[in-house]
Amino acid sequence: MNPLETYQSDAMERPLIRRRLFWALVVSLILHAGIVLWFRQTRLPEFNAAPVERLVPRIFNVKNITIDEKILNGSEQEQEAPKKAAPKPALKPLDLPAERPTADVSEGKMAPAAPTTADLVKPIANDKPAAESNEAQAIARVQDSARMLLEQDLNSIKDSILKDQPANVSHSLIKLPNTQSGDAALADVQGMSAASGRLDKLLGNGLHSGDAPVSLPGGALFEFDSSDVRTEAIEQLHKLGMLIRRNPNVTFSIEGYTDSFGDAAYNIQLSQARADAVRNWLIQNMDVDPGHIQAAGYGATRFLVTPKPVDMHSQVSIDQEKLLEQRNRRVEIRFKFPKAQ
């Protein structure tokens, strides 16, 4: 495109643009002038200031006023004469004891003598009127009665609460959620309770050749993926220590087992660490003979529950298999009796 043609077209449009701007300016001025006039003549009630309450209004209208003629024709003397002040009550003079100073004259010098005790001036009013003491006693009686009523109400509320409460309330020591982890924890608690009953029976009846081993659930003995003994299992370990001390001729074998999950070498290491933890606790806390306790870790072997194939890409399948193999994670205590000679 030729630049000269573009320049000529712009030069031709300039007068037209100027005329349009001029008329637009005129219309704008007219509109603004109209808006200003409209706001000057129109009062918007929404923007009026809220009326302020005043004791005396600024402007008031009076239609008819009636004035007594006597007030207007009053004598000037009455208007100019000041009002006489009310007579002041006469004050009674106080009777003060007469002071009689005395002096002792000795050797031409005057020395003041000891002053005489003057009578005390009687008080004008009493310290506490009798009426005030009676009111104080009445207030004290009301407070005492109110306190007694409040104590009675509190006692009645306490009695009603005690009556409404059932006599026998079953409190669960362990409250587990209704989930798979809760089911696993419940199985551990039940397994530990069964092991505790079995240890009580062995303590009462004694050990005999051929007795089945005692199985302690690993979830109740140790924290997850750890060999630290839980405080909840100390009672059962204490019973096991008493059983070992009562049978010095029996060798106790502590065996650790895991489930099928995880690396085989790691499971062996974890099961050995857990068996050693139980043995060390018994030696340190129950003062048992270390020669009568053996510890061994067997890892993922000797399953009580046969493992099933698991979809490792499904967390639900993994959780179900872990719950199924709950019994495989355990610590067993076996008894080895001396051979008969």
* Residues constituting the chain: 341
> Does 92 reside within a domain?
no
Is residue 46 over pLDDT 50?
A: yes
Range in 17-21, 143-147, 244-248, 264-268 the model is least confident about = 143-147
**Residue 120 has what pLDDT?**
46
Residue 317 located in a structural domain: yes
For the stretch 198-225, pLDDT in tens is 999 999 999 988 899 999 998 888 877 7
User: How many domains are there within the chain?
Assistant: 1
Tell me, what CATH number does 331's domain have?
Answer: 3.30.1330.60
Looking at the predicted structure, is the pLDDT value of residue 157 above 80? Answer: no
Domain membership flag for residue 25: no
- 169 assigned to some structural domain: no
Q: Which two tokens stand for residue 37?
A: 């006039």
Q: Would you say residue 24 lies in a domain?
A: no
Q: What is the pLDDT of residues 103-141, one digit of tens each?
A: 444 444 444 545 554 444 444 444 545 445 566 676 777
Asked whether residue 73 is assigned to any structural domain, the reply reads no
Enclosing domain of residue 274: 180-336
Task: Render the burial of 8-20: b for 16+ CB within 10 Å, e for the rest.
Answer: eeeeeeeeeeeee
Residue 243 has pLDDT above 50, yes or no: yes
Q: Does residue 55 sit within a domain?
A: no
* Average pLDDT over every residue of 85-110: 55
The pLDDT, as a whole number, for residue 150 is 75
**236: number of Cβ within 10 Å:** 19
φ, ψ of residue 264 in degrees (nearest 5) = -65, -40
Q: Is residue 241 part of a domain?
A: yes
